[in-house]
């Protein structure tokens, strides 16, 4: 899993509440078992004017010019700004796969659906929760300033930009360290691989009947 320590990027303002996982990556794309390539279909029903299918060449599809990710000023964004209950709906891991594959490393919202929030940490995405007042301010700054960027310092849990005061955000310590070290749940377990081997060896000696092969 990729590490996140410091991140600076252009902010894309998705000013919607209750953005569900079917909007993030529609159901027809769940046939794919691969993490790569799904960024082409992120927010598919909002980005394009036709019905998308897995494997389709998106370069030839008619786009919705009004959708933020199709606007030139936001095409290289890597920080997504949204409202409350982001990632609600079905618990599809394809949603963070698509976001990460598109290039988003940080999502800032008023709140997140629990399962989606947990899935972000497993896929090298930092979800940050801030108050509605701060979110409103960020939306205004993003629209008023072309190429508006934020710098995220995960270690110190700060968000900075020359146009605003430094913002502190909360995150559980073990989740923070997992992102900084680039460890998913399996990686965190493997830190204790030597202890696990010692336990297995001792367990086999003390309980040999469990390992008899008929």
Is 214 a domain residue? Answer: no
Report the side by side order of strands in the sheet with 164-168.
Answer: 126-129, 106-109, 79-81, 6-13, 149-153, 158-161, 164-168
CATH code (residue 22): 3.20.19.10
| Out of 104-108, 118-122, 162-166, least confident range | 162-166
Is 212 a domain residue? Answer: no
pLDDT tens digits for 128-175? 999 999 999 999 999 999 999 999 999 999 999 988 889 999 999 989
Q: Is the distance from CB of 9 to CB of 150 less than 8 angstroms?
A: yes
**pLDDT over 70 for what percent of the chain?**
94
Phi, psi of 127 (to 5 degrees): -90, 125
**Can you state the percent helix, strand and coil of the chain, rounding each to 5?**
40, 20, 40
Is 198 a domain residue? Answer: no
Pairing of strands 149-153, 6-13: antiparallel
3-state secondary structure of 81: strand
Is 1 a domain residue? Answer: no
Is 96 a domain residue? Answer: yes
Q: Which of 146, 168, 170 is nearest to 158 (CA)?
A: 168
**How many domains would you assign to the chain?**
1
Q: Is the distance from CB of 64 to CB of 46 less than 8 angstroms?
A: yes
User: pTM for the complete prediction?
Assistant: 0.87
Structure tokens at 83: 């409202």
pLDDT tens digits for 27-48? 999 988 888 889 999 999 999 9
Q: What integer pLDDT is reported at residue 134 of this predicted model?
A: 96
Is 209 a domain residue? Answer: no
Is 58 a domain residue? Answer: yes
Query: 136: domain range?
Result: 6-182
Q: Which has more confidence, 62 or 207?
A: 62
Question: Does 87 score more than 90 pLDDT?
Answer: yes
pLDDT tens digits for 184-214? 666 666 666 777 777 877 788 788 877 775 5
Question: Does 11 score more than 70 pLDDT?
Answer: yes
Is 206 a domain residue? Answer: no
């Amino acid at each position: 899993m990729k590490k996140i320590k410091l991140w600076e990027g252009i902010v894309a303002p998705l000013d919607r509440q209750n953005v569900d996982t079917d909007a993030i990556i529609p159901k027809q794309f769940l046939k794919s078992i691969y993490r790569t390539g799904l960024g082409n279909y992120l927010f598919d029903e909002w980005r394009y004017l036709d019905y998308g299918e897995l494997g389709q060449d998106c370069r030839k599809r008619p786009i919705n010019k009004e959708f933020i990710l199709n606007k030139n000023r936001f095409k290289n964004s890597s920080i997504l700004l949204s409202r409350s209950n982001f990632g609600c709906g079905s618990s599809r891991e394809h949603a963070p796969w698509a976001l990460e594959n598109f290039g988003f490393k940080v999502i800032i919202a008023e709140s997140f659906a629990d399962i989606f929030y947990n899935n972000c940490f497993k896929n090298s995405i930092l979800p940050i929760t801030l108050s509605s007042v701060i979110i409103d301010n960020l939306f205004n700054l993003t629209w008023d300033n072309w190429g508006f960027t934020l710098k995220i310092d995960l270690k110190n849990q700060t968000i900075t930009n020359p146009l605003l005061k430094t913002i502190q955000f909360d995150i559980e310590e073990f989740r923070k360290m997992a992102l900084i070290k680039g460890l998913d749940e399996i990686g965190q377990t493997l830190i204790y691989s030597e202890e696990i081997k010692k336990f297995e060896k001792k367990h086999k000696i003390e309980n040999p009947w469990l390992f008899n092969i008929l």
